[in-house]
């Protein structure tokens, strides 16, 4: 069974530029999550989708971050404009709708903002 | 508010030694879930175990064992006879079942980096 796919794996941009990350969850997983993991810390949830609806985006900095999951499968996370403190690994995870506590994580996208 | 504390930032052991990773949590909910994840250098978080707050039985899976004690709000993880492949960052996490509206927000600790030296 294929795991959670993410791209790109690495991205370097300058501050004030825009960037987008892509996530393809495990087939059949209705729930999708985006986490931000700053170096030396544990992941922090940014947003949770159930199919194409947002369940929780309380920790998403909405002035610069946006996410969508239009068809209930793939998702994109965008940062516009990026700040230095956005340098982190962005992890995508997915789970079955009735097993939301069992999240499977992708390899992440490492973002460096210079 | 929920909180997870992993006081050990880094641990180094020699191969075949046993090692215990500590995890202390805070929550006001009576129903919650505790997790351990492994993050190898490749970056993916690998699910190891989930326990719910009503099940305090210790669990053993091969060389891994977990000790859940509600009285001390701890959920410690022991690796017996450590191997080089165990080298990774290990995260303890907490989810409150009552996060609301289907939200299953995981609150992670800062992680413990384990290095197993051959």
**Could you tell me the CA-to-CA distances from B7 to B42, B55, B85 in Å, in that order?**
24, 24, 23
Min Cα–Cα distance to chain A from B63, Å: 22
- B39-58 residues touching A, CB cutoff 8 A: 42-47, 50
List residues of chain A with CB under 8 Å from any CB of chain B. Answer: 3, 31, 40-45, 48, 50, 55-56, 89, 91, 93, 95, 100-108, 110
Residue A55: which of B33, B95, B102 has the nearest Cβ? B102
Token pair in block for residue A54: 């947002």
Strands A19-24 and A10-13: unpaired
Per-residue pLDDT tens, chain A, 114 aa: give them. Answer: 689 999 999 999 999 999 999 999 999 999 999 999 999 899 999 999 998 899 889 999 999 999 999 888 999 999 999 999 999 999 999 998 877 778 899 999 999 999
Residue A62 near residue A77 (C-beta atoms within 8 A): no
Measure the CA–CA gap between A77 and A92, rounded to whole angstroms.
10
């Amino acid at each position: 069974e294929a795991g959670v796919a993410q791209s790109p794996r690495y991205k370097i941009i300058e501050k004030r530029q825009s960037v987008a990350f892509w996530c393809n969850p495990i087939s059949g997983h209705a729930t999708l999550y985006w986490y931000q993991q700053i170096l030396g810390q544990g992941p922090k949830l940014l947003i949770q989708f159930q199919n194409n609806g947002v369940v929780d985006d309380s920790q998403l900095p909405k002035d610069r971050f946006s996410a969508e999951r239009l068809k209930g499968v793939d998702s994109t996370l965008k940062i516009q404009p990026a700040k230095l403190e956005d340098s982190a690994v962005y992890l995508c995870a997915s789970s079955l709708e009735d097993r939301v506590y069992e999240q499977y994580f992708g390899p992440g996208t490492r973002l460096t903002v210079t | 508010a929920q909180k997870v504390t992993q006081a050990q930032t880094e641990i180094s052991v020699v191969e075949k030694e046993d090692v215990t990773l500590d995890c202390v949590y805070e929550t006001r909910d009576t129903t919650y879930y505790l997790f351990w994840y492994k993050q190898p250098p490749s970056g993916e978080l690998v699910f190891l175990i989930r326990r719910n707050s009503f099940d305090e039985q210790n669990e053993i899976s091969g060389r891994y064992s977990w000790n859940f004690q509600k009285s001390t709000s701890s959920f410690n993880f022991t690796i017996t006879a450590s191997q080089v492949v165990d080298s990774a960052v290990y995260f303890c996490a907490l989810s409150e079942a009552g996060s609301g509206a289907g939200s299953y927000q995981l609150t992670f600790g800062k992680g413990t980096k384990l290095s197993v030296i051959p």
